[in-house]
Amino acid sequence: MKTSLIHPCIVSPFLVLGLLGCASVQKHMVVSADNVHICCNVQGNGDPALVFVHGWSCDKSYWKAQTARFADNHKVVTVDLAGHGESGLDRKEWTLEAFGADVAAVVKKLDLGRVILIGHSMGGPVIIEAARQMPGRAIGLVGVDTFRRIEEEVTKEQLENFTAPFREDFKEATRRFVRGMFPSGADPVLVEHVMSDMASAPPDVGIAAFEALFNYDIKKSLKEARLPVYCINSDRYPTNIEAGRRHALSFEVKLMPGTGHFVMMEDPETFNRLLAEVISKLTQ
């Protein structure tokens, strides 16, 4: 680990401010329902709290372009689901219900009142499940490039065909899978970072999470959650808005042109503006 020695008399005010900003981020370890330790970062203050949940084989760092932006007016919480990031790996079954319980455990332990749950990709169904497990806490759900085709059914054979390359060579299959999530003109540095990071995830967790995701009854859970849903999605692929409205209390979509799957990282300025608009609507 690289270290540096700086004489206290020559520390600039800008460095001091930077150090103070870093110190404002608090790390917490919360125990989920099945005794797995869940890591989360907390920054800022303000109601409602914003709880950010990453997608498949990602972690809480994928929201770093959002945390400082929204911590001025809200308590911002970023969560590592079990098996991801700094959270525990000692779980027997990797289900969407268990991932939802991770988020619910964080919200309850931090004693958050009103929350807006924000989930990217697989994190979308996770926040629905979390809201279902803690009725009365969430005032709205924000899906980030997710909830595109919630009525689409996947057969057992399709799921087996999809996961077969990941079982054979998880790292290489994940790199190919992630590369296809970005448009051709995407920042190559960002693409390589995300590919390498996601390919280094635990294969057993990744494959089991895929199976859990495709077997999860999102339509039933949306109806039970009875919450307004907003999506901030890439315009690369269509979103079935009518299907969303058949199952959610309300369902609205904001599109981001020219982006791939990681909209919050590819164009954080536009994403943050759209998220601020959604938060404003949910808190009116």
- For 48-103, how does the pLDDT look when each residue is reduced to its tens digit (9 = 90+)? 999 999 999 999 999 999 999 999 999 999 999 999 999 999 999 999 999 999 99
Whether 129 and 100 have beta carbons less than 8 Å apart is answered as yes
For residue 59, what are the domain limits?
26-153+217-282
Residue 92's CATH number: 3.40.50.1820
Mean pLDDT for the stretch of residues 5-9: 29
30 part of a folded domain:
yes
249 part of a folded domain:
yes
Alpha helices (H) in 169-267, listed in sequence order? 170-179, 188-199, 203-215, 218-225, 241-247, 263-266
Give the whole-angstrom CA distance, residue 67 versus residue 70: 6
162 part of a folded domain:
no
C-alpha distances (whole Å) from 69 to each of 7, 44, 134, 163 are 31, 10, 27, 37
Q: 204-224: per-residue pLDDT in tens?
A: 999 999 999 999 999 999 999
Strands 228-234 and 138-144: parallel
Q: Which of 17-21, 87-91, 121-125, 277-281 shows the lowest mean pLDDT across its residues?
A: 17-21
Give the whole-angstrom CA distance, residue 86 versus residue 107: 18
Q: 139-194: per-residue pLDDT in tens?
A: 999 999 999 999 999 999 999 999 999 999 999 999 999 999 999 999 999 999 99
168 part of a folded domain:
no
- pLDDT of amino acid 24: 87
Domains identified in the chain, total number:
1
64 part of a folded domain:
yes
163 part of a folded domain:
no
- pLDDT of amino acid 122: 98
Q: 245-255: per-residue pLDDT in tens?
A: 999 999 999 99
Question: Which pTM value belongs to this model?
Answer: 0.91
Closest CA to 124 of 21, 266, 10, 227: 227
3 part of a folded domain:
no
210 part of a folded domain:
no
**What does the block give as tokens for 274?**
């759209």
